[in-house]
Chains A and B, each alone.
Chain A
Amino acid sequence: DIQMTQSPSAVSASVGDRVTITCRASQGINNWLAWYQQKPGKAPKLLISAASSLESGVPSRFSGSGSGTDFTLTISSLQPEDSATYYCQQANFSPDTFGQGTKLEI
């Protein structure tokens, strides 16, 4: 199975900061990489698919980049409502696999 490694596991930042979360795949995944945001007690929400395609309705401060095995999620100007856990997921090889999550504290 493809291993997805996220870093950092947790990060604390302030409103207005720029934050970057990285996700590394154990082998190339042809950019089939998605990012999710999950708040406590809620289902995950898809933010970005295909590494850099922003989902409709997601604020433009979220962006994704990368290719091959290394990907990043960037939040350009943190807002209080961005406090959540973020997961990456590869969908190139079955089984789909998720990263272990990054907890973002504002």
Chain B
Amino acid sequence: EVQLVESGGGLVRPGGSLRLSCAASGFTFSSHWMSWVRQAPGKGLEWVANIKPDGSQRDHVDSVKGRFTVSRDNAKNSLFLQMDSLRAEDTAVYYCARTGTYRGLDYWGQGTLLTVSS
């Protein structure tokens, strides 16, 4: 059974940093693109970042470029999102998701809530 379990969310002050983790199991992690998607309270979905199976290629949405970095550890079946210089507008539930055969995000974690507030 495919499982994605996020952790690391919490309350952070503006300008602070946090690292989200996503533990994957039940599939060959090193064979799949992985993504982070966020959802601000009461709002829609926003794609944040993704990373190639071998980690050699990654991309981020413009609003987080230079502040967030996606990475992965295939030996530990784990995906990460390092978030620096956090802003109030980064407050959201952050989901990790697996990219499937036809580029849809076919498995999602339960999400972890990040709140940026003073």
Measured CB to CB, the residues of A under 8 A from B are 1, 32, 34, 36, 38, 43-46, 48-50, 53, 55, 87, 89, 91, 94-101
Contacts and interface: CB of A to CB of B under 8 A. Distances in A.
B106 interface: yes
24 contacts: A32-B103, A34-B102, A34-B103, A36-B45, A43-B95, A43-B109, A43-B111, A44-B37, A44-B105, A49-B106, A50-B104, A53-B102, A55-B104, A89-B47, A91-B99, A91-B103, A91-B104, A95-B47, A95-B60, A95-B62, A96-B35, A98-B45, A99-B44, A100-B44
B61 interface: yes
A55 B106 contact: yes
Interface of B: 35, 37, 44-47, 50, 59-62, 95, 99-106, 108-111
B108 A95 contact: no
Contacts of B111: 43
B44 A89 contact: no
A87 B105 contact: no
Nearest to B96: A43
Contacts, number: 66
B45 A87 contact: yes
Nearest to A43: B108
